[in-house]
Chain A
Amino acid sequence: KQEVTQIPAALSVPEGENLVLNCSFTDSAIYNLQWFRQDPGKGLTSLLLIQSSQREQTSGRLNASLDKSSGRSTLYIAASQPGDSATYLCAVGNQAGTALIFGKGTTLSVSS
């Protein structure tokens, strides 16, 4: 059974710092991997989707990488801002048409 783990569970950084969030999964035969952002008491917002054939995706200050063979993905956030404070969730799709399996998330706090 696929399991998704995110480390660390919480992270606090000063504004302007570059940071990396980690995601690992136990079964490397994935279809795709997605990163989401969740603000307190809200739904999730999709940030980046990486297909299994891709190595990375970029959107603005965000860059997500995927290494299927090692079962790892990282989300890199450049020049962090207080508005980046939120919980970031990694999710794996095992096959086309199946539901995503989520990690427990990393809660990020960026101080000004």
Chain B
Amino acid sequence: DGGITQSPKYLFRKEGQNVTLSCEQNLNHDAMYWYRQDPGQGLRLIYYSQIVNDFQKGDIAEGYSVSREKKESFPLTVTSAQKNPTAFYLCASSKRDNYGYTFGSGTRLTVV
């Protein structure tokens, strides 16, 4: 079955450490997105990509980086510059006109 896979489900990061969250889709969608969800804050956009080798910053891109080398994959790196990374991270993909917006099951990142 087609879908989006996020891994790992839970991730623990030490202070000053970079970590990478994986997002893979087999829906043949052109666009992919990363959102951050904090309690009571709703979803906030970190980065999105409409085509391979191209991506745009969202509202809260500082301290994060992404790559889009393959259509199926859109990994997110949380760098040490992100001072408050503890949150629930959601990856999504869609056709270019926002049809078929599909979310992964999320990665919960905790700083220890």
Contact = CB atoms under 8 A, between A and B. Distances in A.
Considering residues B33, B42, B58, which has the most beta carbons from chain A within 10 angstroms of its beta carbon? B42
Interface string A77-110: 0000000000001010100111111111100000
Contacts of A104: 40-42
A18 interface: no
A44 interface: yes
B74 interface: no
Interface of B is mostly: strand
Considering residues A91, A99, A102, which has the most beta carbons from chain B within 10 angstroms of its beta carbon? A99
What 5 pairs between A and B have smallest CB-CB spacing?
A104-B42, A43-B103, A102-B43, A44-B103, A99-B48
15 contacts: A32-B97, A32-B98, A36-B101, A42-B105, A46-B100, A49-B98, A91-B43, A91-B101, A96-B96, A96-B98, A97-B50, A99-B33, A100-B101, A102-B35, A103-B42
Interface of A: 31-32, 34, 36, 41-46, 49, 89, 91, 93, 96-105
